[in-house]
């Protein structure tokens, strides 16, 4: 089994459920409040581990109770968290999430995630160079993301980047990434807000995979744009973590030796299952659950 390192954020998700989002200046009553483990990095690591992957988490938490609990949660889900660093005098990152109208809105405060810097990467370099795949997101400093990409290029480690939340990505960095997986909004921002997904994909054959929510995902196979629809018959409960599940599942399937199309189809099933339960990590499926649903024929009517 090939090894994966996720280098990224570890957050505490504070989730409020409501019938709708408040307008500017408006106060409304919510229906429920809960606290969950989160962070795009941690979410993707848990998604991989739930699917049976060999994955280690590299990142930072605060020296507060939340930090201790987030490390405990990672280990409880089968993630190697031995090199997650607890930063003295710093708070663990948090995400404030409003779940409403079958979707979510998120505000992130980075906290200890800001300390996933070059010095930290240098301190865990031996853990990085022994893996086959490195998975990155943009909830840690961009300088760190670029530094890790350069290290992986030198060491011939495959790099997968989920550019979320969106930040400006240098074109030369895109060229150094093996796979980049934005959603349609992030993809548009990366390329002058064109909104033309086909045009964007044509510029990056073989490299870019764009997730399209309930419309599935798309990529350029070198000859044409391929659209893979989302899973049929999904009972939406909470979309939080669906994108992270997709990215984690895609990476896990590649690590198993799957090709890109197979990995995308696998990731579509995993992400579809994840939104049928509440909570970003709690809803992430096991390999058995994905294989069972995949065996029943899961694609929407769009076909491939």
pLDDT in tens, 77-129: 999 999 999 999 999 999 888 989 888 788 888 999 999 999 999 999 999 99
Strands 158-162 and 217-220: unpaired
Q: Using one digit for the tens of pLDDT, what is the confidence trace for 166-189?
A: 898 888 999 999 999 999 989 888
Beta strands per DSSP E along 18-145: 32-38, 54-58, 60-62, 85-87, 93-100, 103-109, 133-137
Which tokens hold the place of 187?
């993809």
Active site residues: 244
Per-residue HEC secondary structure of 245-256 comes to HHHHHHHHHHHC
Q: By the 8 A CB rule, do 251 and 243 touch?
A: no
Q: By the 8 A CB rule, do 41 and 9 touch?
A: yes
Per-residue pLDDT for the chain (304 aa), expressed as one digit of tens each? Answer: 799 999 999 999 898 999 999 999 999 999 999 998 999 999 999 999 999 999 999 999 999 999 999 999 999 999 999 999 999 999 999 988 898 988 878 888 899 999 999 999 999 999 999 999 999 999 999 999 999 999 999 999 999 999 998 898 888 999 999 999 999 989 888 876 666 888 889 888 889 999 998 889 999 988 899 999 888 778 788 777 899 999 999 999 999 999 999 999 999 999 999 988 877 798 899 999 999 888 776 554 333 2
Give the gyration radius of the chain's Cα atoms: 18
Helices 40-50 and 242-255: crossing angle in degrees, nearest 10, is 50
Tell me the CB-side half-sphere exposure of residue 105, using CA atoms within 13 A: 9
Q: By the 8 A CB rule, do 5 and 135 touch?
A: yes
- 247-280 as b/e: b if 16+ CB within 10 A: bbbbbbbbbbebebeebbbbbbbbbbbbbbbbbb
Which tokens hold the place of 166?
């969106």
Distance CA 268, CA 291 (A): 12
Distance CA 214, CA 183 (A): 11
The CA-based angle 163-6-63, given to 5 degrees, is: 105
**What pLDDT is recorded for position 4?**
98
- What pTM does this model have? 0.90
């Amino acid at each position: 089994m090939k090894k994966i390192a996720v280098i990224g954020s570890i957050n505490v998700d504070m989730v409020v459920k409501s019938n709708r989002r408040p307008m500017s200046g408006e106060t409304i009553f919510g229906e429920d409040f809960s606290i969950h483990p989160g962070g795009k990095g941690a979410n993707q690591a848990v998604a991989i581990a739930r699917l049976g992957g060999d994955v280690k988490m590299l990142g930072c938490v605060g020296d507060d109770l939340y930090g201790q609990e987030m490390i405990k949660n990672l280990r409880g889900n089968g993630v190697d968290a031995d090199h997650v660093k607890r930063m003295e005098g710093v708070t663990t990152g948090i995400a404030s999430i409003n779940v409403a109208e079958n979707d979510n809105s998120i505000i992130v405060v980075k906290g200890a995630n800001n300390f996933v810097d070059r010095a930290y990467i240098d301190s865990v370099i031996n853990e990085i160079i022994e893996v086959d795949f490195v998975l990155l997101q943009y909830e840690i400093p961009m300088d760190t993301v670029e530094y890790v990409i350069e290290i992986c290029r030198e060491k011939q480690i495959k790099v997968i980047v989920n550019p979320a939340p969106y930040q400006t990505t240098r074109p030369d960095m895109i060229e150094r990434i093996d796979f980049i997986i934005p959603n349609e909004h992030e993809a548009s921002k990366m390329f002058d807000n064109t909104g033309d997904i086909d045009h964007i994909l044509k510029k990056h054959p073989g490299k870019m995979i764009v997730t399209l929510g309930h419309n599935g995902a798309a990529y350029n196979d070198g000859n044409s744009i391929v659209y893979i629809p989302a899973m049929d018959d999904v009972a939406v409960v909470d979309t939080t973590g669906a994108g992270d599940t997709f990215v984690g599942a895609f990476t896990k399937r590649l690590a198993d030796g799957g090709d890109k199309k197979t990995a995308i189809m696998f990731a579509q099933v995993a992400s579809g299952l994840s939104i049928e339960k509440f909570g970003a990590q709690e809803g992430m499926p096991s390999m058995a659950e994905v294989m069972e649903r995949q065996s029943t024929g899961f694609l929407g009517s769009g076909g491939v």
